[in-house]
Chains A and B, each alone.
Chain A
Amino acid sequence: MSQPVAPATGSGRIRTPLPFPTAAKPAVADTQLRANLHRATRTIRAKRARVVDEVPDWEALRDAGSAIKADVQRRLPELLEQFEASATAAGATVHWARDAAEACRIVVALTRAAGADEVVKVKSMATQEIELNEALEAAGIAAYETDLAELIVQLGEDTPSHILVPAIHYNRAQIREIFQRRMADAPADLSDEPAALAEAARAHLRRRFLSARVAVSGANFAVADTGTLVVVESEGNGRMCLTLPETLISVVGVEKLLPTFTDLEVFLQLLPRSSTGERMNPYTSMWTGVTPGDGPQDVHVVLVDNGRSAVLADPVGRPALSCIRCSACLNVCPVYERAGGHAYGSVYPGPIGAILSPQLTGVADNASLPYASTLCGACYDVCPVKINIPEILVHLRQQAPHPPAERAAMRVLSWVMRSPRRWAVALRLARAGAGPLGAYRERRTGARTLRRLPWPASAWTRSRDLPLPAPQTFREWWGKQ
């Protein structure tokens, strides 16, 4: 090829159908949802803090993780070729998918070739991103989610609202209600104790695991030098899917690579403590192609671009590809805690979603997301791979289409503030102009503040008083000395 091929944006469940502030409005007003998220995020925050604090070399691990991922991004084409060669040599078949639709077509074709009309699924962000379940259903193939939270979401005909715990927006009583309504074999006297709900899920899925012929998974890591895939989980549904069926299809974003098997020593320390707040998750499975007599004998890997090349093309935004989907940034984010995951309109919610989704689709298609943050920086502090999310948010805001009125106001303000003389005049005018009003308000209410203003200032005064300019500016005070 002589022509350079341009990086391409992706498709699938990564676009906000509504602007974030609009989508957040009903969520903020939903007191039950707010309470559920408040309780859950605070529980996990405390757990994470406890197990991170006990690791004396946590910062060194973060530095290593961040650097390994930067190295992966720099060498992504060669590492993908190395992974393909290693996995193929070990008996896997490697497929490549430019976008969501192509990835879905590959999985459908492989499932049909295996003669199956149903698949069991391990929780995977990549398959949610490409809307695989919908594609399988359209092809007459039933997809059964086996992770407890994914099962809850699937039974509730809902969409995930969190990367790690897709059903975080439900409390135990709501989950019991979904099980009783939608799970045919749920016990009649099912209680809302988490242990009882987990037991119901175990019974519900047991037969399906033992008879499944095709499983679909994602992967947390893909190791280039060995061709190994890694899935990190808790319940054992992953092990069931990765071990018992004859055919295993893993859908893997191209950014999931690690150069060497040894690099896992960093990420398998960072990930569990950052995500579930455990020293180690209950189960981690690794497989390298086909092992005769042990596990699936028909092993496929689908490497997916779907916008990742576009993310890679931006040197400032590129570190978003370092994300290991731990969710620590969601769990500490005050905006996520109030708005919930659905407001982000993408499978990737929270701070990481606010930088990843707009880069996957192009900023114009997710223009409200880079603004869905106060830039408080809590996400950056907990990120195990040190993605500077606030910096990337600010960077993406430069590319976002700006409302014409806002742009005009910003330009006028900049014209005034770039000139010391104009700024001094503007200050004097603002102080003088507000003077009588301020004095009036002070007489009436005892404070130089306004309570109610017309749009757009109403966005401020609906919940807070607005201070008026002081009777004399600082520079006027200084000048009088």
Chain B
Amino acid sequence: MRIALFITCVNDLAFPATGIAVTRILRRLGHTVDFPADQTCCGQMHANTGYRAEALPMVRNYVDVFDSYDAIVAPSGSCTAMIRDQYPHLHPPATSVAARTYELSELLVDVLGVTDVGAEFPETVTYHPTCHGLRMLRLGDRPLTLLRQVRGIKLVELGDAEECCGFGGTFALKNPDVSTAMLTDKCARVRDTGARVLAAADNSCLAHIGGGLDRHRSGVRAVHYAEILAETGATS
């Protein structure tokens, strides 16, 4: 199976560790991963802010870059949802490649049939199901299923877990007061858990929540769950 990694624009620039983690997990499981260098951005920010015409060239580029792969994995629920839900409407020729694009936990659990990726992570972790993964992709408990198999991990439940953190892409900038109010509540629920690590499937939401946690010097680290799955306990 030819697997390609769609790193997403935000991860490429600001969160390369997540992409490195995905690569390590898949290689550890015996798969070859390609990183087509011509990839750019899925176009979600443009499309969801009201600039579909400006998003369309990115959609076309995605088709050109990824159409030849059997499976494309993206470490982002939100970008995957953009591709799977919106691409077929925006650009019908993207329908086939959109259907072959998976969020990491979908690829591991559904396509590769793996729930134990051989990870070890001796920390107290709480998991926030980000909205597009939860309600558009219907990831369900796939990420948690993977995390539960991690050796040494202590998973604690997040209160009001399914409530949006208030990021919402450009929402955070256009509606700063409401976004901040939602963030404040989400950070409080995270702190209530006593966890040292907050995990989620989207680094953009994590940058928002993590940014709020840092501001309050909470000592909680926000990480993409792929980075937990990549840990083997061995010092790298």
Given A374-B168, A375-B169, A410-B49 in contact, is the A463-B212 Cβ separation under 8 Å? yes
CB of A377 within 8 A of chain B? yes
| Residues of A contacting B61 in the complex (Cβ-Cβ under 8 angstroms) | 418, 420
Query: In the complex, given contacts A335-B175, A394-B47, A459-B172, what are 6 additional A-B residue pairs having Cβ atoms less than 8 angstroms apart?
Result: A417-B58, A460-B211, A464-B211, A465-B214, A467-B211, A470-B13
Contact B14 A468 (CB under 8 A): yes
| Residues of A contacting B183 in the complex (Cβ-Cβ under 8 angstroms) | 463-464
Partner of A474, one of B7, B162, B208: B7
CB of B142 within 8 A of chain A? no
| Residues of B contacting A465 in the complex (Cβ-Cβ under 8 angstroms) | 210-211, 214-215
CB of B16 within 8 A of chain A? yes
| Binary per-residue interface labels of chain A (407-431) against chain B in the complex, 1 for a CB within 8 Å, 0 otherwise | 1001101100111100110010011
| Binary per-residue interface labels of chain A (372-383) against chain B in the complex, 1 for a CB within 8 Å, 0 otherwise | 111111101100
Contact B48 A397 (CB under 8 A): yes
Q: Which of A34, A402, A463, A469 has the most CB of B within 10 A?
A: A463
A424 closest partner in B (C-beta): B37
Interface size band for B = 35 or more
Q: List 9 A-B contacts (CB under 8 A).
A: A28-B181, A335-B178, A374-B168, A378-B135, A410-B46, A459-B172, A462-B176, A474-B19, A474-B20
B173 closest partner in A (C-beta): A459
**Which segment of A19-27, A76-84, A227-235 sits at the interface?**
A19-27
Contact B211 A21 (CB under 8 A): no
Contact B54 A410 (CB under 8 A): yes
| Binary per-residue interface labels of chain B (82-96) against chain A in the complex, 1 for a CB within 8 Å, 0 otherwise | 000010000000000
- Chain B binding surface SS class: helix
B60 closest partner in A (C-beta): A418
B132 CB to nearest chain A CB (Å): 7
CB of A334 within 8 A of chain B? yes
CB of A472 within 8 A of chain B? yes
| Residues of A contacting B58 in the complex (Cβ-Cβ under 8 angstroms) | 414, 417-418
| Residues of A contacting B176 in the complex (Cβ-Cβ under 8 angstroms) | 21, 459-460, 462-463
| Residues of B contacting A431 in the complex (Cβ-Cβ under 8 angstroms) | 13
Given A24-B175, A402-B50, A465-B211 in contact, is the A417-B12 Cβ separation under 8 Å? no
Contact A373 B171 (CB under 8 A): yes
A423 to B49, CA, bound (A): 20
B168 closest partner in A (C-beta): A374
A416 CB to nearest chain B CB (Å): 8
| Residues of A contacting B181 in the complex (Cβ-Cβ under 8 angstroms) | 28, 34, 338
Given A28-B181, A414-B58, A463-B180 in contact, is the A378-B207 Cβ separation under 8 Å? no
| Residues of A contacting B19 in the complex (Cβ-Cβ under 8 angstroms) | 474, 477-478
CB of B115 within 8 A of chain A? no
A338 to B30, CA, bound (A): 48
A411 to B124, CA, bound (A): 43
| Residues of A contacting B45 in the complex (Cβ-Cβ under 8 angstroms) | 413
| Residues of A contacting B170 in the complex (Cβ-Cβ under 8 angstroms) | 371
Q: Which of B17, B136, B214 has the most CB of A within 10 A?
A: B214
A399 to B46, CA, bound (A): 13
Segment 135-156 of B: residues with Cβ below 8 Å from A = 135-136
| Residues of B contacting A430 in the complex (Cβ-Cβ under 8 angstroms) | 13
B218 CB to nearest chain A CB (Å): 12
| Residues of B contacting A32 in the complex (Cβ-Cβ under 8 angstroms) | none
Given A334-B166, A378-B164, A464-B215 in contact, is the A400-B175 Cβ separation under 8 Å? no
Contact A470 B211 (CB under 8 A): no
Contact A414 B214 (CB under 8 A): no
Contact A464 B208 (CB under 8 A): yes
A360 to B52, CA, bound (A): 23
Contact A410 B211 (CB under 8 A): no
Contact B175 A398 (CB under 8 A): no
B185 CB to nearest chain A CB (Å): 8
| Residues of B contacting A243 in the complex (Cβ-Cβ under 8 angstroms) | none
B197 CB to nearest chain A CB (Å): 15
Segment 20-66 of B: residues with Cβ below 8 Å from A = 20, 23, 35, 37-41, 43, 45-52, 54-55, 57-58, 60-61, 65
A374 to B177, CA, bound (A): 13
Partner of B212, one of A370, A464, A477: A464
A439 CB to nearest chain B CB (Å): 15
B223 CB to nearest chain A CB (Å): 12
Q: 9 closest pairs, A vs B, by CB?
A: A374-B168, A464-B211, A418-B57, A397-B50, A376-B164, A414-B54, A377-B135, A420-B38, A474-B16
Segment 428-467 of A: residues with Cβ below 8 Å from B = 430-431, 447, 449, 451, 456, 459-460, 462-467
CB of A473 within 8 A of chain B? yes
CB of B131 within 8 A of chain A? yes
A410 to B12, CA, bound (A): 19
A423 closest partner in B (C-beta): B40
Contact B15 A414 (CB under 8 A): no
